[in-house]
Structure 1
């Protein structure tokens, strides 16, 4: 079970509605635990993922650890954000938390997939395959963010923050990772535009670094570019992968300090 970084317990993110996508495992699960420590009583933590059983396990563990002491309302939404109905279901669950007493709206767009990294760009000749990938990783993130911001419009006393879990791949091309790099680059630009259009919304793209997760295991096993695959294997064997907790702690500090330029892309290693 993941606790928040020590030394931050005296600070908090206010009475908030905090929405985390991809919250059932890996990085999203860790962020759910870390954020639970930083929300004032009366806050709602909305956990979104495709797998109900894993979501409920996260909820039960959070409630056991933190629910009683800070009266945190943890809710689960089983939804596939690749599909319109999944996005609508998530929005409806968010709207059911509407309260004039909420001080902070925090949306963390964490849900993402690696895509087929065993192939190179010239093999992706089927537009439907590409569109399926972009539907979750780009379209879903934009539509959910837009819907949430519409449901919780600007008002006095409400702070609104949107986080995009990004990657070095948003800035640097990785051979055989054309889908992932494209999706991450598109998301970064999408949120940069949002920051320009909505100056009252705090927008952050955070690259968490190479995390020791199932996605990293998939990268080590299936990356079509052998140089890249060997580099990931070397990082793993030499203990250079980051824990989700270590990376999440830096994101928590960024959110608590709240002094980043809105729309910025910040990397774990730059902080």
Structure 2
């Protein structure tokens, strides 16, 4: 677990409620471990993921390492109404909400989807709708519902993070669903930034991470050029460790100087 310099107080995100989706592995897990020491005593970290076992393991690690932090894990499938309601129920029951200084919502949950097909192979509305239900609709409805659960009041700063991608701004052949979903999410959160100037919003693209998703990219991509591109990236050491990228996002939140609604890539910082 990452730790600061002994005897030196680290910059803080204050007494906060932080809701992190896709928390059980990869970038989400690294982010949870890096956020925890930046949250002051009395803060609450709500961890959401579909994998109950990995989520429970992370919760145990955090409880052991940070005694002043309340950690709640919510195993939930955000592609379903039931899953979203499980998360909202946990958020509405958070202790000490009236004393919080900050609300942080991090939309990290997402899936790669079918990347072996070309555009013209997507002829099933059910397949497409299922993908967007998890990757777009749930992020919109969950974020909106959580924001409504925390009425505006003096002293409460609200921050919304969308884990974005280069794919939100650049098309990749055979990645129709993923690129479209990421682009939709970026625009969605830009609109939130315009409508709610009191809410800090950032679309953070974490860069090419060394994760299971990257393994799928270099083995399952339908387009051979794209497949080779990701293979070359792996073989040349071009993939990033999740904790390195997650640390940049934590620093971004601590500094809080970004333009609300901006798309910020790992390599921009």
TM-score (norm 2): 0.97
Equivalent residue, structure 2, for 1:258:
256
User: What's the counterpart of residue 77 of structure 1?
Assistant: 74
SS in 1 for 2:171: coil
Distance 1:168 1:269 in 2: 11
Q: Distance in 1 between matches of 2:192 and 2:130?
A: 23
Partner of 1:16: 16
Deviation larger for 175-184 or 226-235:
226-235
CA drift at 1:10: 2.3
Over the residues paired in the alignment, what is the CA RMSD in angstroms?
A: 1.3
Q: Contact 2:33 / 2:62 at 8 angstroms: preserved in 1? A: yes
CA distance in 2 between counterparts of 1:5 and 1:141 reads 32
Q: Determine helix, strand or coil for the equivalent of 2:20.
A: strand
Aligned equivalent of 1:117, options 112, 115, 118? 115
Shift of 1:269: 0.5
Cα distance in 2 for residues equivalent to 1:169 and 1:262 = 20
Deviation at 1:163, TM superposition (A): 0.1
Q: What are structure 2's unaligned runs of at least 5 residues?
A: none
Distance between the aligned counterparts of 2:201 and 2:265, measured in 1? 14
Q: How much does 1:100 deviate? A: 1.0
Distance 1:106 1:193, change over 3 A: same
CA distance in 2, matches of 1:222, 1:197: 39
CA gap of 1:39–1:93, structure 2 versus 1, over 3 A, is: same
The residue that corresponds to 2:39 in the other structure is 39
Sort the Cα spacing of 1:192 and 1:123 in 2 relative to 1 into closer, same or farther, 3 A: same
Residue 220 in 1 paired to residue 218 in 2?
Answer: yes
Partner of 2:88: 91
Matches within 5 A, 1:95-244: 95-97=92-94, 99-244=97-242
CA drift at 1:4: 5.9
Q: Is the 8 Å Cα contact of residues 4 and 35 (structure 1) preserved in structure 2?
A: no
| Rounded Cα–Cα distance in structure 1 between residues aligned with 2:148 and 2:203 | 20
> 2-side partners of 1:225 and 1:5: how far apart?
44
Residues 4, 10 of structure 2: 8 Å contact kept: no
- By how many angstroms is 1:103 displaced? 0.6
For 2:142 and 2:88, locate their aligned partners in 1 and report how far apart those are by CA, in whole Å: 7
Could you say if the C-alpha distance between residues 222 and 199 of structure 1 is closer, same or farther in structure 2, counting changes exceeding 3 Å? same
Find the aligned partners of 2:15 and 2:212 in 1 and give their Cα distance: 33
For residues 149 and 197 of structure 2, what CA distance do their matches in structure 1 show?
17
Q: Which residue of 2 aligns with 1:62?
A: 62
Query: Aligned equivalents of 1:155 and 1:136: distance in 2?
Result: 31
